[in-house]
Amino acid sequence: MTERLVRVGDVDLCVETFGSPSDPTVLLIHGACASMLWWPREFCTALAVRGRHVVRYDSRDTGRSTHYPPGRPPYSLRDLADDAVGLLDALAIPDAHLVGRSMGGGVAMTAALDQPGSVATLTLVSTTTGADDLPPMTPEFLSRPTADDPVDDIVLLMRAYAGRSPFFDAAAIRRLAAADVARTACLDAALTNHFAMRMDGPRAGTGPADIAVPTLVVHGDVDPVHPLPHGQALAEAIPGATLLVLTDTGHDLPPQRVGLVVDALVAHTSPDTV
């Protein structure tokens, strides 16, 4: 369980793996501005104990991976999807179960549509179709407080992400935020570039209705960023998708829901599902 840099095309991605490479691989793709640390180690370890080879990594401009000048990322969402599949190639993994969270769900869907042979199943956590008729972010999230200190600001942001969930643990989040800030190569790039990149979609112009791999949609019922109708619409748009609603859960993955999600992922990625 040690981090290492892996060359993927013309970028270096910082990667950490859990479990045996002989087991089915679960590739974890996080959302905007978040390094792999925001996939909790307990979550990764629990999956590995259940017979999954877990790979988490820093996307471009997060953690220790390649970064670019703040506000000037030369890549797009599609490039991040190519990174995910390219990382599998670099690790000699023919295909994987992709788990994308928030913006990472968009990355995972794009990978599944552009390079379906590399994707065994999809799991989309706190993700949206992006349709215009879905509910906006909650007023409480939009008016969230901010702080000048980066660790304090991340704690406030994660508090806002939790919405009305009772599970928010400020002390634990502060420790994680401090660790993330300490290992991030360029914090300004990490906080801005995913919002400044081009948000292009799959090359073929396809969408959720064209996803042809088994898909699990996981969504919190008090998500303030993408309220629950976003997850419901996504599950309805993808043929055969299953929806798992996490009660008292916001846009995050609190420890109190890790076991439930691990159980669902193990079932979803079993040979009977694929």
Per-residue pLDDT tens for 28-41? Answer: 999 999 999 999 99
Give me the pLDDT at residue 236, please: 98
Instruction: Judge whether residue 206 has pLDDT over 80.
Output: yes
Residue 273's pLDDT is 66
Tell me the pLDDT band of 2, cut-offs 50, 70 and 90. confident
Contact between residue 20 and residue 233 where contact means Cβ atoms under 8 Å apart:
no
Residue 268 — very low, low, confident or very high, per pLDDT cuts 50/70/90? Answer: very high
So what's the pLDDT on residue 144?
A: 94
**149-165: b (≥16 Cβ within 10 Å) or e:** ebbebbbbbbbbbbbeb
Query: Which residue in this structure is represented by tokens 């892996």?
Result: 6
Q: What is the pLDDT averaged over residues 247-273?
A: 94
13 DSSP β-pair partners = 6
Reported confidence tier of residue 24, pLDDT bands at 50, 70, 90: very high
Identify the pLDDT of residue 224: 98
pLDDT value at 274 more than 70: no
Domain boundaries, the chain: 4-268
Q: E strand or H helix at 107, and its extent? A: helix 103-114
pLDDT of 1 over the 80 cut? no
Residue 231: is its pLDDT beyond 90? yes
- What is the three-class DSSP state of 178? helix
Q: CA 272 to CA 274: how far, in whole Å? A: 6
With H, G, I as helix, E, B as strand and everything else as coil, classify residue 134. coil
Which CATH fold topology does 4-268 show? Rossmann fold (3.40.50)
Q: What is the pLDDT of residue 33?
A: 95
- Whether the per-residue pLDDT at 119 is higher than 60: the answer is yes
Query: Please, which pLDDT band fits residue 128 given cuts at 50, 70 and 90?
Result: very high
